Homo-oligomer: A and B are copies of this chain.
Amino acid sequence: MTFASDNWAGAHPAIADALAEHAAGHAAAYGKSDLDQQVVRRFCDIFERDVAVFFVATGTAANALSLASASRPGGVAFCHAEAHLVEDECGAAEYLTGGTRLAKVHGPLGRMDPQLLERAVGHYPPEFLHAGRPVAVSLTQATEIGTIYSLAQVDAMAEVARRHQLVLHMDGARFANALVALDVSPAEMTWKRGVDILSFGGTKNGCWCAEAVVLFDPDKAAEFAFLHKRAAQLFSKSRFVAAQFDAYLRDDLWLDNARHANAMAGLLAERIRASASARLAWEPEANELFAILHNSDVDRLKNAGVMFYDWNAPEGFDGSMAPDEGICRFVTSFATTEAEIDRFAATIT
Interface on A for B, CB 8 Å cutoff? 2, 4-5, 7-13, 15-17, 19-20, 22-30, 56-61, 64-65, 72-76, 87-92, 94-102, 129-133, 203-204, 208-209, 223, 225-227, 229-237, 240, 307, 335
Contact = CB atoms under 8 A, between A and B. Distances in A.
Given A91-B76, A91-B99, A60 B232 contact: yes
A27 B234 CA distance: 27
Contact of A57 (B64, B96, B235): B235
Contacts of A229: 60, 74, 89-90, 92, 129-130
Nearest to A93: B99
Nearest to A60: B232
A102 B99 contact: no
Number of copies: 4
A58 B7 contact: no
A313 to B, nearest CB: 14
B58 A235 contact: yes
Given A26-B2, A27-B10, A240-B209, A98 B99 contact: yes
B98 A98 contact: yes
A129 B95 contact: no
B8 A58 contact: no
Given A94-B101, A99-B95, A23 B16 contact: yes
